[in-house]
Amino acid sequence: MLFRSLLSFFLAAPLLAHAQPPPGYYDPAAGLYGQPLKVALYNIINDHTVYQYSQLWNYFPSTDDRPDGKVWDIYSDIPGGTAPYSFTFTVDQCGTYSNEGDCYNREHSFPQNWFNSAAPMSSDLFHIYPTDGYVNNRRGDLPYGRVGSATWTSQNGTKVGPSNWTGYSNTVCEPIDAFKGDIARTYFYMMTRYMPQVPGWTSDMIAAGDLNIWATNLLLQWHANDPVSTKEVDRNNAIFAIQGNRNPFIDHPEWVVSIWGPTAGIGEDDLPALRIWSGDDGLHLDGAAADGSPVQVLDLLGRPVWQGRFTSNLLVLPALPAGAYIVRVGRQAVRIVR
């Protein structure tokens, strides 16, 4: 049986290794991909401790605190730069607001009216962030997307305006690049944690019980371009201590591609004894002769970023930005994770 050659692996910065799921937490998902992987992850994370929405104020100081103890707000912070303003927990809690910087409130990154404000989604910390109240209001229930010509821009660069992303042209909200991966992995979590409920939700980003095509392609790109950060790892661990479940796409970013990417659903049965793995020095080929097989590296949207051939058992890759990639190798289908 012939297979398209698809190899997906994750090239990540060293800090990504710090997520700490308990031993055995993801064992039921081992070796799976596509829909079976999504179902297995749902069964792992679906039974979390549910709190009242009003209780979330008490948890933000542990889930969304900056290194300086201030509120980590995706709508005002500028990682690596100087934020225009900052909030202090409790002291700057909304309340009322008239302008940016007045106070912070609770942003449902997945708007409540998409799921009819139902529990337990309405108080799930994984998609609820403390954010500037004024900017939160400007976003409202807009989908996230890529803005063409902004009609409004926050002080940290968050934009509102018509989408120029293929497949969607209505008004969207676009966070700054440093938080796009955070949002993407939040949405992949929501599609998995609430898999049975999603078919009843209403949003321009959803179709047939999952993300629609334009939203999937957008979030895959955001996931690839903005890899998991220390902020996300710390937040994942903090929420696990509170709710008792995790965002698996922070612990295992490669699973995003396994479920929503171009490799999703491709079988690995009846394969020859061939093992391809990535090390710090490049791609290694075990179990078969290095016969000049063509190798192609693609990004998550299937666009070629590099190609070469296996002429020895080691293929040295060029320096690539941290992120998820697909590698096609001859006719074989092999999956690895780095």
- Identify any residues that bridge with 211 across adjacent strands, giving them in sequence order: 206
What one-letter code names the amino acid at 318?
P
Mean pLDDT of 194-205: 97
Q: State percent of the chain over pLDDT 90.
A: 69
DSSP label at 114?
G
Q: Are 329 and 276 in contact (CB under 8 A)?
A: yes
Closest of 315, 222, 256, 191 to residue 10, by C-alpha? 256
Of how many residues is the chain composed?
338
Would you state the structure tokens that stand for residue 226, as one six-digit string?
A: 């903005």
Report whether pLDDT(267) > 90. no
Q: To which H or E segment does residue 278 belong?
A: strand 275-279
pLDDT tens sequence across 15-46: 344 457 999 999 999 989 899 999 999 999 99
Span 167-192, average pLDDT: 98
> Can you read off the two tokens belonging to residue 304?
């070629």
Per-residue pLDDT averaged across 121-130, rounded? 98
pLDDT tens column, 100-114: 999 999 999 999 999
Query: How many angstroms separate the CA atoms of 338 and 310, rounded?
Result: 19
Residue 141 has pLDDT above 50, yes or no: yes
Least confident stretch, 66-75, 177-186, 251-260: 251-260
Whose tokens are 């320096």? That residue is: 319
Instruction: Quote the DSSP letter at residue 113.
Output: G
Higher pLDDT, residue 1 or 133:
133
Q: Mean pLDDT throughout 222-238?
A: 95
| SS3 call for 116 | coil
Between 253 and 12, name the one with better pLDDT: 253
Q: How large is the greatest C-alpha to C-alpha distance in the chain, in angstroms?
A: 68
Tell me how far apart the alpha carbons of residues 197 and 110 are, in angstroms, rounded to a whole number: 14
Question: Distance between CA 76 and CA 86 in Å, rounded?
Answer: 7
Question: What does the DSSP 8-state code read for residue 17?
Answer: G
Q: Is the dihedral of CA 166, 170, 174, 180 positive or negative?
A: negative
Given a cut of 70, whether residue 306 has pLDDT beyond it is yes
- 319 Cβ contact partners less than 8 Å away, ≥ 6 residues apart: none
> Model-level pTM?
0.78
**Between 222 and 328, whose confidence is greater?**
222
The residue extents of the domains of the chain are: 1-47+245-338, 49-223
Q: pLDDT band for position 268 (50/70/90)?
A: very low
The three-class DSSP label of residue 256 is: helix
Where does the pLDDT of residue 310 fall: very low under 50, low under 70, confident under 90, or very high at 90 and above? confident
Confidence of residue 275 (pLDDT cuts 50, 70, 90): low
Residue type, 98: S
